[in-house]
Amino acid sequence: MTNFTNKSYQLKFNIVDKAKDLGINLVGFAPVDRWGKFEETSAEYYPQNIWPEMKTVIVFATQIFLPMLETTPSVVYSELYNTTNRVLDETAYKIANYLNTLGHQAIFFPRDCYGDISVLVRKPVAAFSHVLAAKYAGLGTIGYNHTLLTKEFGPRVRLVSVLTNAVIPPDQVIKKDLCIKCEMCRKCCPTSSFETTENLVADMNKTRCAEYHAKLKSAYCYPCGVCIKVCPIGDDRKIYGYDSKKYLNERKALEKNINDPEYAGWVHCRDHGSNPIE
């Protein structure tokens, strides 16, 4: 077991304070040996095999505001998504830079890190999983829909990671799964991409999901986000509430009457700033 110094704890506190001052909601720390301990991805995706000097992965999360997400697919949600991306990458850059000034090696792995959605259609996998990193950093657990679920915001978070050779006290991994396997994400998915029901984490047709995202991008209302919109998990539900019937009935209700007053705000946002989805 590593014996951490007061200096290492102070460094951790400083990083958390700086990140929260920059608009980050959640911060977690994971030693790189957790990737080998859990063996949930192949070794080429371990952070220490990408950059061998690195000892700690720091994961930052920002929340996605539920009322904006509920309008998806819309430019309103698209702009929110882009804004969280900027906050995350800028924060991660600044924290890595801060660690550099203290004499530590540090880099950040950008939150998405793909050139275009067409690349994901061809190869729907990222070079580094922020979701696994966040799990190992104690921010949450992985749900049926393959996203990170947090106590605070459910899956309605965006993630970025900083890798450093600084040895920093880790956070505990959450042992109890937050996902209740209600399968709302499967029932509401516009592409039926979740293909199994027997596992906690579903088998998923990632190509089909990526192809739908390509359509949304061409219409300027990327990304989808339905699977995180309908999830009941998260303390943010205490602020915004939860109406499963409204989510489950949305598609049929709007097919029957696009002017259904229950969905008027969502439809209004979808009708402005983006093109129809072909």
The closest of 175, 173, 160, 172 to 57, measured between CA atoms, is 160
Domains contained in the chain, number = 1
- Residue with the two structure tokens 């339905």: 226
pLDDT digits (tens, 9 = 90+) for 15-70: 999 999 999 999 999 999 999 999 999 999 999 999 999 999 999 999 999 999 99
Q: Which two tokens stand for residue 16?
A: 């958390």
Q: What residues make up the domain containing 263?
A: 1-278
pLDDT digits (tens, 9 = 90+) for 191-228: 999 999 999 999 999 999 999 999 999 999 999 999 99
The β-bridge partners of 148 are 142
Q: What is the pTM of this model?
A: 0.96
Distance (Å, rounded) from C-alpha 201 to C-alpha 243?
23
